[in-house]
Amino acid sequence: MSEHSSPAIAAVVFFVGFFLVFLCIECSPAPVAGGRRHHQTPHAHPLTHEYYSNTCPQLDHLVSLVTSQQFREFPISAPATIRLFFHDCFVEGCDGSILISSERGGLLVEREAADNKNLAPEAFDTVNKAKELVEKKCPGVVSCADILAVAARDFVHLAGGPYYKVKTGRKDSKVSLHYKVQFNLPRPNSTVEELLLLFSKKGLGKDDLVALSGAHTIGFSHCNHFLSRLYNYHGTNRPDPSIEPRMLKELQMLCPPFGGSADVVAPFDVQTPFEFDHMYYRNLEAKMGLLATDQALWLDRRTRPLVLKLGQDKVKFFQAFALGMEKMGAIGVKKGRSGEVRKLCYRPN
């Protein structure tokens, strides 16, 4: 899922502009995962479109007031919030546990884990602002987990992607533990086999993996997540041969092997980095995937046909992505006494 950072955007703009001038690529128009299925499926606790129809019917409108303003003022909020939703759902389910802040002297929470250190503050700000507004109109009714799900959908649409109805009814977790994170999120260099196994444990399949990876059509990644591909791929002291040569040159200029800025980021989609479209998949065909996990989807025979299909048809991508978000949004949902409706998203009641 998307990683991003507010600093060093100027470097990104330079990279995109220079690379597009330098490189003229003609892109042709183009679920059951491996491993044993986990007993927990995303549909263990059904959600509904009408959950707040009586208690907070204006929820979508209230959240949209915040997301539309955030998108105008801080466009990075879009990929940041989509990524935040992914990181929430894959760790202990879609329960808002990623939103909880550490307290002095308390246990470390999920957002303090190494995999979450670069989650952009704009995403947390969006959820907190939306929660504050919703609480004024519907006090004590709407969970932070549901607000995050709705906000992620809004940003997908604001960036040019599909609009889909979000099922609600999630409760917020009462705890957040950093050690739950490490083995529940993909690594930047995960193999397709590892990705399929991880998604299978969440009740998701191969189609969901490829469709949800399309979130990388917007957003950015820090150099440290792909640096080894540029200089020492699998310990060879050579670059990854699957990177398009001219893109490799530009990435090496942006991310030197030593002494580079930790804040510098590169776009996942070098051609349309700010537009939610299906160019991500065409980039994979052209050997322009940024992370090893991105390019692996094209290199693996199990996922390549899906990359081709979604790269050829934006409508099919939008449909697959919306379905993947719905399925992911139902992972490990807490209902009843297993959760709560937080008054403040950054701490339990």
Task: Choose, from 4, 45, 87, 278, the residue flagged as catalytic.
Answer: 87
Known binding residue 160? Answer is: no
Specify the range with the lowest mean pLDDT, choosing from 8-12, 124-128, 137-141, 184-188. 8-12
Split at pLDDT 50, 70, 90, the class of 106 is confident
- Tell me the mean pLDDT in the region 124-129: 98
pLDDT tens-digit profile of 268-312?
A: 998 999 999 999 999 999 999 999 999 999 999 999 999 999 999
- Tell me the mean pLDDT in the region 125-130: 98
Known binding residue 97? Answer is: yes
Reply yes or no on whether 87 is catalytic. Answer: yes
Known binding residue 294? Answer is: no
Task: Say if CB 25 and CB 303 are below 8 A apart.
Answer: no
Residue 41: per-residue pLDDT? 45
Judged against a pLDDT cut of 80, whether residue 5 lies above it is answered with no
Residue 262: per-residue pLDDT? 81
Residue 304: per-residue pLDDT? 98
**Structural tokens at position 45:** 């606790």
% of residues, the chain, pLDDT over 70: 87
What backbone torsions phi and psi does residue 233 show, to the nearest 5 degrees? -70, 120
Known binding residue 13? Answer is: no
Residue 1: per-residue pLDDT? 58
Split at pLDDT 50, 70, 90, the class of 28 is very low
Strand 220-222 with 265-267, pairing = antiparallel
Say how far apart CA 18 and CA 250 lie, in whole Å. 8
Known binding residue 81? Answer is: no
Instruction: Look at 78 and 105; give whichever has higher pLDDT.
Output: 78
Known binding residue 95? Answer is: yes
The residues, any chain, with a CB within 8 Å of residue 132's CB and separated by 6 or more, are none
Task: Say if CB 216 and CB 310 are below 8 A apart.
Answer: no
pLDDT tens-digit profile of 149-204?
A: 999 999 999 999 999 999 999 999 999 999 999 899 999 889 999 999 999 999 99
| Class in CATH terms, 58-219+268-329 | mainly alpha
**Structural tokens at position 236:** 């060879």
What backbone torsions phi and psi does residue 286 show, to the nearest 5 degrees? -90, 15
What is the 3-state secondary structure of the chain?
CCECCCCCHHHHHHHHHHHHHHCCCCCCCCCCCCCCCCCCCCCCCCCECCCCCCCCCCHHHHHHHHHHHHHHHCCCHHHHHHHHHHHHHCCCCCCCHHHCCCCCCCCCCHHHCHHHCCCCHHHHHHHHHHHHHHHHHCCCCCCHHHHHHHHHHHHHHHCCCCCCCCCECCCECCCCCHHHCCCCCCCCCCCHHHHHHHHHHCCCCHHHHHHHHHHHHCCEEEHHHCHHHHHCHHHCCCCCCCCCHHHHHHHHHHCCCCCCCCCCEEECCCCCCCCCCCHHHHHHHCCCCCCHHHHHHHHCCCCHHHHHHHHHCHHHHHHHHHHHHHHHCCCCCCCHHHCECCCECCECC
Judged against a pLDDT cut of 70, whether residue 27 lies above it is answered with no
Residue 3: per-residue pLDDT? 54
Domain map of the chain by residue range? 58-219+268-329
Known binding residue 186? Answer is: yes
Residue 24: per-residue pLDDT? 39
